[in-house]
Amino acid sequence: MAKLLIFTDIHIKGDTIIGLDPVTRFKEALTHALAHHSDAQGIVLMGDLTHSGTVGEYNLLKDILVNVPLPITFMMGNHDRREAFLQVFPKARLDSSGFVQSSFDVGEWCAITLDTLDGPPYPDKHHSGMLCADRLAWLSDQLEQAKEQPVVLCTHHPLGELGLPMLDRIKLENGSDVIDLIRKHPMPVHVLAGHVHRTISGQWQGVPYTSFKSTCHQNTLNLAQQHDFMFVDQPGAYGVILSDGPNIIVHSEDYALSQQDGLSDTLS
Ligand SMILES: [Fe+2]
Ligand SMILES: [Fe+2]
């Protein structure tokens, strides 16, 4: 069984976010994951690596990752800036057009990681995602090359709506183009998403997906049409993906809660 660790929306910053220190939170999550899942074949950081996309923040992230013994795949989120990221991580895997996209095998499954950052230019307070024609063509090629494999597709921005109006406004703007491509794939596809700072699962037009919590701050479940973003201090999480032959299993680990002592009981 192959195992992949997923961290999303770590929002590294040299200051607190709603009173929480994203650096401490990410270090705790990473320490927990490496202690319990040292047999993982790799880590995917699914975007919003930093809070403001500055070189200083990427250097902070680099310092945290310096002794991580597993291969790391980076993705871009709306809070990232590709040029600053590449100054600090010049060896990150890119596609032939320079976007932070890659693919690799996880057991029988093919993992494809998308770069959904809309820009440059980066309009102020513009947080929705976009997969331009070049990136869509790259995805189409990757799916063609993996036509005999099931695919786990990692995207920072959700491809469709989640019933959360504020977040639905900033999803992937052309997510329907990606869903159309996925639906043509002859093997199963499971989508993993970040961006929403909540654990959610469902289907978009028959395409199953799971989104993950941030390691730091979380969104509330607010289904109202009009509201502001309300971030809250709830336990952070990371994902553990198990690729088991033709099956895939998606776990979300609330690492701070799992450090608590469990109480044993019988099943009788
Ligand atoms: Fe985020
Ligand atoms: Fe985001």
The token pair at 55 is 């070189």
Residue 227: its pLDDT value, please? Answer: 67
Average pLDDT, the chain: 95
106 in a domain, yes or no? yes
Distance 144 CA to ligand 1 centre (A): 31
Q: Does residue 36 sit in helix, strand or coil?
A: helix
The reported pLDDT for the residue numbered 268 is: 65
What are the residues whose beta carbons fall under 8 Å from the beta carbon of 185, sequence distance 6 or more?
A: 143, 146, 147, 151
Q: What is the mean pLDDT of residues 148-167?
A: 96
For residue 268, being part of any structural domain is answered with: no
pLDDT digits (tens, 9 = 90+) for 53-90: 999 999 999 999 999 999 999 999 999 999 999 999 99
Q: Give me the domain span that covers residue 77.
A: 2-258
What separation in Å is there between the alpha carbon of 20 and the centre of ligand 1? 14
| pLDDT tens readout for residues 204-224 | 999 999 999 999 999 999 888
The answer to the question of residue 264 being in a domain is no
Would you say residue 267 lies in a domain? Answer: no
Distance (angstroms) between ligand 1 centre and the Cα of 21 equals: 14
Count of CB atoms situated within 10 Å of the CB of 250: 18
* Alpha carbon of 1 to ligand 2 centroid (Å): 30
Tokens 């990410």 sit at which residue? 26
CATH number for the domain that contains residue 114: 3.60.21.10
Bond before 121 cis per omega within 30 degrees:
yes
CA of 195 to the centre of ligand 1 (A): 5
Is residue 212, in this structure, part of any structural domain at all? yes
Q: Tell me, what DSSP letter sits at residue 101?
A: -
The domain total for the chain is: 1
Q: pTM, whole model, 2 decimals?
A: 0.96
Q: Is 35 helix (H, G, I), strand (E, B) or coil?
A: helix
